[in-house]
Structure 1
Amino acid sequence: MAGEHGCGRPRVAVSRCLLGEPVRHNGNHSRARYLTDELAPFVDWVPICPEMEIGLGTPRESLRLVRSPGGPRLVGRGSGLDHTPAMTALAAERSAGLDADGYVFKSKSPSCGIHGIPLYAGEASLDRHNRGLFAGAVIDDHPLLPVEDEGRLNDAVLREAFTERIFAHARLRELLRSDWRPRDLVDFQSRHKMQLLAHSTEGYRETGRVAAGAGTRPRAELAEAYETAFRTALAVRSTVGRNVNVLQHCLGMLGNELDPVRRADLAEVIASYAVRRVALSVPIALLRHHARSEAATYVQNQTYFLPYPDELGLRNHVVG
């Protein structure tokens, strides 16, 4: 099928312990099997352990965030040593040179956690609404970068959303680093229309508006504007309702390719997905099957049908 994920292999930054490396404070690892067993064959990892990179070694004393007038400090639990300057400098360096389509952080880490990190005053925990010092700096610098932690990736919906975004980012990165021409950007937009529409009607329109200006704007300005619009659109979570809208659009575009019986069958399956009786993979598979004729080339070419490798099986869950 022409609209395969194929072009673009994601580069994914990841906490080293999640790949099974024994770099945690206790000398152990936190291997995440979705990453190492399922996703690994399809991505290139950029492993990072900020605590090791500032020279703490392993095993080491655990760290925590401590309240201070100038903002949270990262200190050793037992020694009270302040590692904030070193970690802040490393975060700035790593963030500035980050070349990745997504990032998977270690959960519950005062360095790498993306949510729920406790802030202490003495031995009292004041709140649990903080990010790790390193992760927070990276996220602030790259607000449109897909980020998750290994705990949240256990949720089927979040796992699918993250994976879809990193493959889309990789395709765009590959295009913009090539010797692309304005028509290539227009073609890229055309192939991604239904995928964008499944996320954001506004984003679908904005990316289309920017792409329509290809050839009339300076190359660098056009690339920056499109990249921002594209990433912003995909950052909006897709919903059952938006997917139903796209499925119905695609069904309509098949036109005379379907006889009344097959059209009715497809409409029934889409309706079943709308009321959460079947997984998204069911209407997707049927539409892909019926879009194989030459007359249905536009539908075939939509990345919506295969936004990442089929082997990952990420659309097989029924949304609750």
Structure 2
Amino acid sequence: MIDDQHKIKVGISSCLLGNEVRYDGGHKSNDYIRKTLCQYFEFKPFCPELESGMGVPRPPIQLRHTEQGIRCVGIKDHKLDVTEQLQSCNHMQDHWLKDLYGYILKKDSPSCGMERVKVYRNEYPDRSGTGIFAQYLKDHYPLLPIEEEGRLGDAKLRENFIQRVYVYYRWKQFSLETVTPNRLQVFHSQHKLIAMSHEQNMAKSLGQLVASANKQNIGDVTQNYILWLMRCLKITATRGNHVNTLQHIQGYLKKTLETDDKAELIETIERYRLGQLPLIVPITLLRHHFRKQPDPFIDQSYYMNPYPQELAVLNDI
């Protein structure tokens, strides 16, 4: 287990940790979060409904179309409007939100739901809403990796979120010192292959952006770089893009691999492409070869070691 001081700070809907803060006094404890992610993330629990003064138990609320736009109102009493109450509470959280590297939200919640939250018009809802607090996070912390607990059950979405948290953590540590064109180039080299596995064209554009950096424009380039890198990483990596990235890495071994080793690597990548092997298998084989034949570019890249191996996320994709 990683020491607490090395854990990454991540916000979370309080009910997901088993805290009895829901409107009915219950919780929505999530075993994967509590038993696995808790070993690597230092969770900051927060319930916007409770913290805004609504109490436990409290009248259940919903999002509803009104003449004043979408409002958060009582289910039984539509005159109970807590929209401003929640929004006012949101603005009081910036002192700790700014120190986070990710956030896990409760799905379907009128305060915390990330997407597809029910919005009622008369008695017939559509799935077009975002929770009041979740929308605040999106508007004020656009770089922050956000995910819903329900979507963490999908291996690809789970890997995507964890990877974004670790990249954002490294970026914020990197940004503690003055960013220079050379330092930005190093950071990009470390994350270039990760970007390639998500979206090839965006990865190429990121490289061109970094190449354009100089002492005069480094501030603007830096802001644009992290904005587009996080947008790139939000796109779920595909098997095809991983195959292209693996083959790109394989190219760094073409002059040193023996014929049988090369054939084995090609076959392993192909079997991954066909869905017969998880991603961890070709990556483990590549790690083996680069331990014997180190390459400076591959050595500094995070693609094959994006987060603690104990999370075993690459075993599932």
Fold similarity call, TM over 0.5: yes
TM-score by length of 2: 0.90
Deviations 1:85-128 (A, max 9, x none): 11122234446973222221111211111223222245x12323
Instruction: Please state if 1:21 is matched with 2:16.
Output: no
Q: Distance in 2 between matches of 1:138 and 1:191?
A: 28
How far the C-alpha of 1:144 sits from its partner, in A, is: 4.2
The answer to whether the 8 A contact 2:160-2:233 is kept is: no
* Structure-1 residue corresponding to 2:216: 217
In structure 2, C-alpha distance between the alignment counterparts of 1:209 and 1:198, rounded to whole Å: 17
1:208 equivalent in alignment to 2:203: no
Percent of pairs identical after alignment?
34
Matches of 2:195 and 2:277 in 1, distance apart? 22
For the residue of structure 2 that corresponds to 1:128, the secondary structure is strand
Q: Supply the distance in 1 between the matched residues of 2:218 and 2:176 (Cα, whole angstroms).
A: 12
- 1:171 maps to 170
Provide the rounded CA distance (Å) in 1 between the counterparts of 2:191 and 2:116. 35
Q: Which amino acid is the alignment partner of residue 155 of structure 1?
A: D
Alignment partner of 1:236 is 2:252: no
- How far has the Cα of 1:295 moved from its partner? 3.7
Count how many residue pairs are aligned between Structure 1 and Structure 2.
310
**Alignment partners' CA distance in 1, 2:294 and 2:113:** 49
Distance (whole Å) between structure 1 residues aligned to residue 252 and residue 7 of structure 2: 30
SS at match of 2:97: coil
1:96/1:69 CA distance change after superposition, 3 Å: farther
Between stretches 207-216 and 25-34, larger displacement belongs to 207-216
Q: CA deviation at 1:38?
A: 1.0
**2:60 equivalent in structure 1:** 62
Structure 1 window deviating more from structure 2 (134-143 vs 124-133): it is: 134-143
Alpha-carbon distance in structure 1 between the residues aligned to 2:89 and 2:95: 10
CA distance in 2, matches of 1:237, 1:143: 17
| 2-structure distance, mates of 1:206, 1:92 | 35
Q: 1:85 to 1:24 in 2, by over 3 A?
A: same
For 2:20 and 2:176, the matched residues in 1 are separated by: 35
Which segment drifts farther, 241-250 or 61-70? 61-70
**TM-superposition CA deviations, 1:60-92 (whole Å, max 9, x none):** 221111220121211222344210111122234
Is residue 107–residue 114 contact of structure 1 (8 Å, CA) maintained in 2?
Answer: yes
Correspondence list, 1:85-234, <5 A: 85-94=84-93, 98-99=97-98, 100-122=100-122, 124-234=123-233
RMSD: 2.1
Rounded to whole Å, the distance in 1 between the matches of 2:85 and 2:313 is: 39
2:305 is equivalent to residue 306 of structure 1? yes
Q: Contact conserved, 1:291 with 1:297, CA < 8 A, in 2?
A: no
8 Å CA contact retained: 2:156, 2:236:
no
Shift of 1:54: 0.7
Q: Is the 8 A contact 1:176 1:223 kept in 2?
A: no
Unaligned segments of structure 1, at least 5 residues: 1-7
Tell whether the 8 Å contact from 2:72 to 2:110 is kept in structure 1 after alignment: yes
What SS does the corresponding residue of 1:59 show, helix, strand or coil?
A: coil
Shift of 1:219: 4.5
1:286 is aligned to 285
Mean Cα displacement is larger for which, 221-230 or 303-312?
A: 221-230
Q: 2:72 aligns with which of 74, 81, 85?
A: 74
Is the Cα contact below 8 Å between 1:244 and 1:274 reproduced in 2? yes
Shift of 1:181: 4.0
Larger relative contact order (CA 8 Å, sep ≥ 6)? 1
What is the aligned partner in structure 2 of residue 43 from structure 1? 41
Cα distance in 1, alignment partners of residues 95 and 198 from structure 2:
29
Deviation at 1:148, TM superposition (A): 1.4
Segment drifting more, 59-68 vs 293-302: 293-302
CA contact (8 A) 1:9 1:171 kept: no
* Partner amino acid, structure 1, of 2:103: Y
Q: Which runs of 5+ in 2 are unaligned?
A: 1-5
Pairwise CA distance, 1:273: 0.6
Q: Distance in 2 between matches of 1:290 and 1:82?
A: 62
C-alpha deviation, 1:281, in angstroms: 0.7
Alignment check: 8 A CA contact 1:292 1:300 kept: no
Query: 1: distance between equivalents of 2:7 and 2:95?
Result: 22
Letter in 1 for 2:145: P
Structure 1 residues 178 and 21: CA distance shift in structure 2, 3 A: farther
